[in-house]
Structure formats: structure tokens, C-alpha cells
């Protein structure tokens, strides 16, 4: 197993789930991996990259109105959850694209064992590539040395030392991640 690890400073292992294009099954895999990892005692957080303008708040709600009025940050909290929204365009000199290095410190490392990242395929972190040959996309692993395994829905030719994982076996992928995490803390 490769010892790829995040080069971003963060006190917990950070693992990306990436693919060449959309529709590859990253989110589907993650919705299966999250409970599989939780069943193995892993507390985790997710960071998901969004390519388009998105809104987690609803027009007309008080928090939306306050944010739209000009607040740089709006924190909404209740007895069961809280969410922090930050308007980057209102910050001095925001980067054109949000970076993983900007988002990671927003997570509470004391509450988690692992950070899973969807997207951010250019980030210099350990990654598992989701690859479906039927989509016609090339393998990212051929040009990205931070990819430590490839999860595919079909058998792939062994052309390198990168482990191949069965995309249809999230339990086995969860076990692989646990083995990798043990190598990150030793």
C-alpha cells in the first residue's frame, strides 16, 4: 500500500475521492463509504468542491436575508446542528477559486478521525480515483502521483503498482482506507 499522505498541514488524515469528470460515481461511493467507515468507528468530515454558484440557505429565511444584507460570515445554529456561510467575494482579495488549504482549518479536528474530500482533484493530497472506463475518460493516475488507488466498476489491466479496488465493494474500500489511516498515524 502506498504511503501517500496530505501535504497540507492538518492534524488528521485527509483523503480525496476524485475522478476525471462528473457522473463517475464519486458521490454515490461516498454515500456508501461514510456509513461503512462509521460502522468501523471512524468519525469523519466531508469537504465537497462545488463548481457552480450554490446556496445552502433559502431565500426569505432570516439567515439568507442577513447574509444578503452584507454579512461576510453568517453562522446559523440550533440544538442539533450549525452551519457557517462565508461570502468570499466580500473578503479582501479573495482567490479566484477556493482552495482546500482555506477550507481545512474550518473543520474541528478534535471531533473527527478523517477528512474525506470530494473534488479538488488538483490538490496535493492522497486520493482514490473513481474510474469507469465506459465513460471514456483517461485515468488520472497516469499523471497524478498522489493517487494511491483506483476504484473501478470493471477489472483494469495492472499497468502500475497502484492498487485496484472494486467500486461495487464499498466495505473493501473502507477497509483499505482504514489500513491507509493506520499508516498515517504511525
Which residue segments constitute the domains of the chain, with CATH numbers given? 1-49+98-186 (3.40.50.300), 53-96 (no CATH)
Is beta strand 82-86 parallel, antiparallel or unpaired with respect to 126-131? unpaired
> Is the model more confident about 63 or about 2?
63
Contact between 184 and 5 under an 8 Å Cβ cutoff? The reply is yes
Q: Is 132 in a helix, a strand, or coil?
A: coil
> Is the model more confident about 185 or about 7?
185
DSSP string, 70-94: T-SEEEEE-SS-EEEEE-GGGSSS-
Q: How confident is the model at residue 186 (pLDDT cuts 50, 70, 90)?
A: low
Strand stretches in the chain, DSSP E: 14-18, 44-48, 73-77, 82-86, 114-118, 126-131, 147-152, 164-166
pTM of the model: 0.86
Amino acid at each position: 500500500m502506498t504511503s501517500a499522505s496530505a501535504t497540507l498541514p492538518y492534524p488528521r488524515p485527509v483523503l480525496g475521492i476524485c475522478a476525471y469528470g462528473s457522473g463517475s460515481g464519486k458521490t454515490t461511493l461516498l454515500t456508501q463509504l461514510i456509513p461503512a467507515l462509521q460502522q468501523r468507528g471512524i468519525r469523519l468530515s466531508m469537504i465537497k468542491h462545488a463548481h457552480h454558484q450554490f446556496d445552502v440557505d433559502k431565500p426569505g429565511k432570516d439567515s439568507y436575508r442577513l447574509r444578503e444584507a452584507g454579512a461576510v460570515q453568517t453562522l446559523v445554529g440550533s440544538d442539533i446542528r450549525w452551519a457557517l456561510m462565508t461570502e468570499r467575494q466580500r473578503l479582501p482579495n479573495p482567490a479566484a477559486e477556493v482552495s482546500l488549504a482555506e477550507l481545512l482549518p474550518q473543520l474541528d479536528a478534535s471531533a473527527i478521525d478523517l477528512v474525506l474530500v470530494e473534488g479538488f482533484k488538483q490538490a496535493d493530497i492522497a486520493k482514490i480515483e473513481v474510474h469507469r472506463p465506459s465513460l471514456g475518460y483517461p485515468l488520472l493516475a497516469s499523471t497524478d502521483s498522489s493517487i494511491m488507488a483506483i476504484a473501478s466498476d470493471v477489472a483494469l489491466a495492472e499497468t502500475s503498482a497502484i492498487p485496484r479496488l472494486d467500486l461495487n465493494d464499498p466495505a473493501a474500500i473502507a477497509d483499505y482506507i482504514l489500513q491507509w489511516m493506520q499508516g498515517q498515524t504511525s
